[in-house]
Structure 1
Amino acid sequence: MAKNNSSWFREKILMGRTFSEFIKDNITIGNIIALIILIFGIYAMIYRLICGLGPSTNLSDEYPWGFWIGFDILVGIALAAPGLTVGTAIHLFGIKEYHHFARPVILSSLLGYIFAVFALMFDLGRYYRVFYLIGWSWGFESILFLIGWHFFLYINICLIEFAPVLFEWLDIKKVRDFFAKLTIWATIFGVIIAGGHQSALGGLYLVVPSKLHPLWYSVLLPPFFLISAIFGGISIVIIEGTITHKAFKHQIKDFDEEDFNRKLIGLGKAAACALYIYLILKLLDFAHYEKWHYMKGFYGFWYLVELIAFVLVPALMFTSAVRNRLVWLVKLGAVLTALGVIINRLNVSLFAYKWYVPFSQKYYPAWTEIALSAGVVTMLILTYRFVLNRMPVLYEHPKYKSEH
């Protein structure tokens, strides 16, 4: 029995190598850098758990939410939306030509949400009570209660959608088939849940109209967050697809680069549509509330940078790329779009929050806050790579080809 377990571990986890061979093969520059980041990140995590929020962060009564909420939750959840966008298009609307994107986008959404919740644990004073909202504390009038429940439900939905991959890898056909039948229903439920909490994250800031700069504050914050999560999710699919199909090209038999590029251009077209809708709503909001009065000074300049450089410019890049079939321009537009989502979320949660406070008195994250977040991101990337190297995510399992 012990021999069988050892053989399974070597075959499935170590990929047919001995432990010493596995360690030797993984001594690379990239892994050494990742290890250094993890050391600082884990130190920050332990320091936070032992010493508390006070010594480990620059948070205060004036700034109770900081970098961990802005980056780990608002940015992390927005960029974990590939399942909401491309996953929905494949499973719900039957766009089968993007079938090969389905499993990678579900995996990225699953890991994105799991590690976002993991990071959130460190921002909670009583992190050990995080599950109270599931069965003990029912705050039906709280947006945070809704978001917490939605995170819990969506992680379970992603687990159901990803389960066929896991059980193909384990070669348990009956269980694999059971979860495969649930995929369409999980996707339908997932659209409702994901759309709800993406917009609810914007709704969190509706209660601080006097603290959030008027250029960023709007009654349309919920749809702004939802739409930006849509084009942010599409941009991540483009970036992720480009990287994984180069790094793991050996896994994909009969890889057709021309067809792959055509699909990326199609994703760029979808991203452009979402960007234009977002831009139009932003301009209508700007005009309706006469926000030009606030355009003087640095905040006005930075608002223009966000709107022009990270919304209008990538939208035009995607448009030009689609017309001229320029896949490199789609990839560049995706990078700008993802950066724009990051900047927008940090603007709302940090930069434009308490805008009337002098810069010298504003909140700036401690090094431990940045180290912890960097550690979580590194864990996510390493886990993603671990799964891609072992499970049938980028390719079809030979035994189940006819069932895809």
Structure 2
Amino acid sequence: MVFIRGELRPKGNIFTPFNIISVPVILLGAILIAYRMVKGLGSITNLSQDFPWGMWIGFDVMTGVAFAGGAYVLTFVVYILRIEKYHPIIRATVLNGFLAYVFYAGALVIDLGRPWHIFNPVIGNKFGLSSVLFLVAWHFILYMIAEFIEISPAFAEWLGLKRIKKILASLTLGAVVFGITLSTLHQSGLGALFMMAKGKIHPLWYTEFIPVLFFVSSIFAGLSLVIFEGTISHKVFSQQLDDEHRRSHSDILIGLAKGCSGAMFAYFFLKILIFMHGRHWEYVFTGWGQWYLLELIGLVLVPCYLFLRGAMYKNLTIIRIAAILTMIGVIINRLNYSIIAFKWYIPLPAHYIPHWMEIETTLAIVFAEIWVFRWIVNRMPILRKPPAWET
């Protein structure tokens, strides 16, 4: 108990710029969530029967899960392909992915009109075996369990549980294979949800290949977040990194940039083939066509080139700029499907626009996830080397 009490105490300066900004946002978000639970969705959202999915689904779930894709990509690279170069960042990436699923599953609970129905896929209250949403729900649950098993050895090392750590480590490879399988399925499954909205999504975005596009984009979405998060962690948690980790940082980012470039080229090629096959030339010179080209060229092709150039010339600044552009592109892409290009034919005054309280709640969830991530990294061997008895 003395150890736990000591670990619960703050480590470092409390009054940092991030803390000063994030604490009020989290507290206000908690109040708004409590108010929503008492008064219902309409009390803090602009959701309606015409637009039942809003900011919490479009950003928190659709975008958040795409950004969590770095976990399944890097676990495949490290544990299956045995490319040890990326091993120093594997725990941080898996932890980030696990927390993303936990917090965005929480956002999903908030978004449900009847939150207690979240247990229906588990307890068997009218199993929807033919439902894509049922499939995604079970994949979410099982994937969170798989990621918890993958990261659990760090918890055992933190608590000094040598025997338990050995048992958990023996389960890692199985959890990785299981998790990769689940992740590839539900990344595409989220895209499959929009297959049923053919008449509601703009023709430039709707295609029967949405599941494939969602899966491929989750690869470079996840890796771009790893680059972004890794850059920040390298500075914020620099005291936890050994010399070897510091030396390998640049090489890791360059390798990730190559992966992003390849995945983005494949995605761009698929989008061109789909556009040519769909023959939606009449929309190209409209406002929607310009928006589509901005996403495809400005936020896919351009960062793809920047990633390639940054990797070729080993320019980390270009790689980081490309990662930020890619993240913006993924956010816009997921919001296009769920909000912006959804029921595009409805005039803007009647269209769904997120309430400021929806945006504030989303920020609170993101900040809360960062707080938990920071708390764990400051106490457990996530970035630093494991205890001596592990070597």
TM bucket (normalised to shorter chain) is over 0.9
In structure 2, the partner of 1:60 is 48
- 1:153 and 1:257 map into 2 onto residues whose CA distance is 34
Distance 2:180 2:368 in 1: 27
Match of 2:92 among 104, 108, 117: 104
Secondary structure in 2 aligned to 1:218? coil
The Cα of 1:28 is off from its aligned counterpart by 2.4
Deviates more, 1:240-249 or 1:128-137: 128-137
Is 2:114 the partner of 1:88? Answer: no
Amino acid at match of 1:340: G
**1:17-56 Cα distance to aligned partner (Å, 9 max, x none):** xxxxx49931223211111111221121011101001222
Shift of 1:328: 1.5
* Residues 246-292 of structure 1: CA deviation (Å, up to 9, x unaligned): 11111112245443101110110011000000000000000011022
Q: Residue in 2 aligned with 1:77?
A: 65
Does the Cα contact within 8 Å between 2:157 and 2:387 map onto a contact in 1?
no
Task: Provide the residue aligned with 1:333 in structure 2.
Answer: 322
Aligned equivalents of 1:182, 1:194: Cα separation in 2: 18
Gapped runs of 5+ residues in structure 1?
A: 15-21
1:12, distance to aligned residue in structure 2 (A): 2.4
Letter in 2 for 1:90: V
Question: After the TM superposition, which residues 330-369 of structure 1 pair with which residues of structure 2 at under 5 Å, given as runs?
Answer: 330-369=319-358
Equivalent pair of 1:168/1:400 in contact (CA under 8 Å): no
Distance in 2 of aligned mates of 1:156 and 1:184: 14
Deviations 1:293-347 (A, max 9, x none): 2113211111011001110000000111121111211111111111111110001
Deviation readout 1:162-202 (Å, 9 max, x if unpaired): 11000000000111111101111111111110000000100
Check 1:140–1:94 CA distance in 2 against 1; reply closer, same or farther (3 A cut).
same
Q: 1:167 and 1:24 mapped to 2: Cα distance? A: 24
Alignment-derived partner of residue 270 in structure 2: 281
Q: What's the Cα RMSD here?
A: 1.3
The CA distance in 1 between the partners of 2:248 and 2:27, in whole Å, is: 41
Tell which deviates more after alignment, 30-39 or 298-307: 30-39
Instruction: Summarize deviations over 1:181-230 as a string: whole Å, max 9, x none.
Output: 11111111111100000001000111111110000101110010001011
Which amino acid in 1 is paired with 2:73? T
Identical residues among aligned pairs (%) = 39
Letter in 2 for 1:277: A
Q: 2:117: which partner in 1?
A: 129
Q: Superposition pairs for residues 211-226 of structure 1, below 5 Å?
A: 211-226=200-215
- CA shift at 1:156, angstroms? 0.2
Question: How many residues in Structure 1 have an aligned counterpart in Structure 2?
Answer: 390
In 2, the alpha carbon distance for the partners of 1:308 and 1:205 equals 23
Once the two structures are superposed, residues 37-92 of structure 1 have per-residue CA deviations (whole angstroms, 9 ceiling, x without a partner) of 11221121011101001222111111111111101110111111111111221111
Separation in structure 2 between the aligned mates of residue 296 and residue 210 of structure 1, nearest angstrom: 21
TM-score normalised over the length of structure 1: 0.94
Quote the Cα distance in structure 1 between the aligned partners of 2:11 and 2:100: 27
The structural deviation recorded for 1:93 is 1.2
Q: How much has 1:401 moved relative to structure 2?
A: 4.0
Is 2:3 aligned against 1:11?
Answer: no
For the pair 1:399 / 2:366, whether they are aligned, the reply is no
Which residue pairs with 2:379 in the alignment?
390
Structure 1 residue 239 and structure 2 residue 228: aligned?
Answer: yes
Contact 2:32-2:361 within 8 A present in 1 as well: yes
Amino acid at match of 1:13: L
Equivalent runs, 1:367-386 vs 2, <5 Å: 367-386=356-375
Structure 1 residue runs of 4+, over 6 Å off? none
- Aligned residue type for 2:201: L
TM-score (norm 2): 0.97
Change in Cα spacing, 1:25 to 1:260, as seen in structure 2 (3 Å) is closer
Look up the equivalent residue of 1:372 and give its one-letter code: T
